[in-house]
């Protein structure tokens, strides 16, 4: 009998989690984050085929026997309160947003799947405090170069979700950037932080040709899953060809490491738990938890280079995924 191999999708099943009233995840549910789909592409590249898409926020309702690599961001609640017994799952590169309210049903259900690979140190520490065998795996998107890395003459700078209207004369782009800037300032409540980061970015990009493109990671939820994956692939192909990427999005920065694309993570407001373990991988311009300015950039001949400190963990992730799928196919 042919086996099932599944990939996670993101329907935001429980709307209360994503409402502005929720203190853990303040997001407009009319939009989806393409970074989620980039994480699913990282898992998909190891599968022999995909026979089913499964909602991250509602997998307890799935009755099909399936093999699945479960990575990414999780807020544990009713719709994903346990991993079904019919899931042959590899849990790695996971981040738990709400450790203080994770139910015992979830913790009990993952014991058969130990050890658990965690995207950050904070999630690893949480599981270990509950007597779950867990380790810091880093993020599976650091292996996307396996599929999406290109041997090309890199050209251009990409700004992903950070507003730099002064670097373009295109009126349409300027208008969109001004809107984003307004939202950005409202989110971080600090125009001074934006100016500080911008001033250092200007000094860096003056060493590059003036070929700048802007991308974003938030799109309308009216887009179907097939097209969401297509957007994610298109963005990865853009990043793989760029000479430099500057972004506030962790799932733009992490894939760029794997793609061999020099990248700077711009951090207006440091998330200590989310970045724990990962921050050593990045070139960073931004502010730490205490509001202190961070400027940690590796360069060579005035050009940004990646530190490549992610490679050891990425290789380990790749081996775990390949081994998992090999065992699935032997059944």
The 3 state secondary structure assigned to 50-103 is CCEEEECCCHHHCCCCEEEEEEEEECCCHHHCCCCCCEEEEEEEEEECCHHHCC
Contact 132/112 with Cβ under 8 angstroms?
A: no
State the average pLDDT over residues 109-127.
97
Q: Residues 284, 280, 318, 250: what is their CA dihedral angle, to the nearest 10 degrees?
A: -30
Q: Which of the two residues, 132 and 211, has the higher pLDDT score?
A: 132
**What is the model's pTM?**
0.90
Q: Is the peptide bond before 27 cis (omega within 30 degrees of 0)?
A: no
Q: Which of the two residues, 178 and 240, has the higher pLDDT score?
A: 240
State the average pLDDT over residues 65-71.
97
The number of beta carbons lying within 10 Å of the beta carbon of residue 295 is 11
Share of the chain above pLDDT 90, in %: 72
Residue 19 has pLDDT above 50, yes or no: no
Say what the pLDDT of residue 96 is.
96
Q: How far apart are CA 95 and CA 117, in angstroms?
A: 9
3-state secondary structure 100-125: HHCCHHHHHHHHHHCCEEECCHHHHH
Residue 219 has pLDDT above 70, yes or no: yes
Average pLDDT, the chain: 88
Residue 160 has pLDDT above 60, yes or no: yes
Say what the pLDDT of residue 181 is.
53
Classify 162 as helix, strand or coil. Answer: coil
Say what the pLDDT of residue 149 is.
96
286 falls in which pLDDT band (50, 70, 90)?
very high
Q: How far apart are CA 254 and CA 142, in angstroms?
A: 6
Contact 257/310 with Cβ under 8 angstroms?
A: yes
Residue 93 has pLDDT above 80, yes or no: yes
CA-nearest of 194, 259, 239 to 34 is 239
Residue 144 has pLDDT above 90, yes or no: yes
Q: How far apart are CA 239 and CA 245, in angstroms?
A: 7
Give the position of tokens 């202190």: 292
24 falls in which pLDDT band (50, 70, 90)?
very low
The number of beta carbons lying within 10 Å of the beta carbon of residue 224 is 10
Q: 203: which 2 tokens?
A: 């000094």
Say what the pLDDT of residue 184 is.
54
Say what the pLDDT of residue 208 is.
93
The number of beta carbons lying within 10 Å of the beta carbon of residue 112 is 9
Residue 315 has pLDDT above 80, yes or no: yes
31 falls in which pLDDT band (50, 70, 90)?
confident
Say what the pLDDT of residue 11 is.
87
Residue 191 has pLDDT above 90, yes or no: no
State the average pLDDT over residues 59-87.
94
Share of the chain above pLDDT 70, in %: 86
Please tell me the total number of residues recorded for the chain in this structure.
Answer: 331
Contact 72/94 with Cβ under 8 angstroms?
A: yes
The number of beta carbons lying within 10 Å of the beta carbon of residue 324 is 18
Query: What's the pLDDT tens digit per position in 239-271?
Result: 999 999 999 999 999 999 999 999 999 998 888
């Amino acid at each position: 009998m042919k086996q099932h191999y599944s990939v996670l999708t993101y329907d935001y099943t429980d709307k209360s989690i994503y409402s502005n009233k929720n203190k853990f995840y303040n997001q407009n549910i009319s939009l989806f984050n393409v970074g989620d789909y980039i994480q699913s592409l990282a898992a998909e590249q190891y599968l022999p085929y995909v026979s089913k898409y499964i909602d991250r926020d509602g997998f307890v309702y799935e009755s099909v026997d399936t093999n699945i690599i479960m990575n990414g961001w999780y807020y544990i609640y009713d719709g994903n309160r346990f991993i079904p017994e019919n899931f042959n799952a590899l849990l790695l590169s996971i981040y738990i947003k709400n450790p203080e309210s994770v139910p015992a049903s979830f913790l009990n259900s993952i014991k058969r799947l130990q050890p658990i690979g965690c995207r950050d140190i904070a999630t690893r520490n949480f599981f270990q405090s509950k007597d779950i065998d867990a380790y810091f795996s880093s993020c599976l998107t650091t292996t996307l170069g396996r599929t999406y890395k290109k041997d090309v003459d890199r050209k251009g700078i990409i700004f992903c979700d950070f507003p730099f209207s002064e670097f373009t004369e295109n009126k349409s782009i300027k208008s969109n950037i001004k809107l984003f800037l307004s939202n950005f300032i409202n989110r971080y409540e600090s125009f001074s932080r934006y100016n500080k980061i911008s001033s250092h970015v200007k000094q860096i990009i003056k060493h590059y040709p003036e070929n700048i493109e802007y991308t974003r990671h938030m799109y309308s939820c009216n887009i179907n899953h097939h097209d969401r994956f297509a957007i994610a692939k298109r963005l990865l192909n853009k990043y793989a060809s760029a000479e430099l990427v500057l972004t506030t999005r962790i799932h733009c920065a992490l894939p760029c490491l794997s793609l061999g694309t020099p990248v700077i993570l711009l951090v207006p407001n440091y998330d200590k738990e989310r970045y724990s373990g990962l921050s050593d991988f990045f070139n960073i311009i931004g502010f730490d938890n205490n509001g202190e300015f961070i400027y940690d950039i590796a360069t060579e001949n005035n050009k940004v280079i990646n530190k490549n400190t992610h490679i050891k963990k990425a290789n380990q992730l790749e081996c775990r995924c390949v081994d998992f799928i090999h065992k699935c196919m032997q059944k």
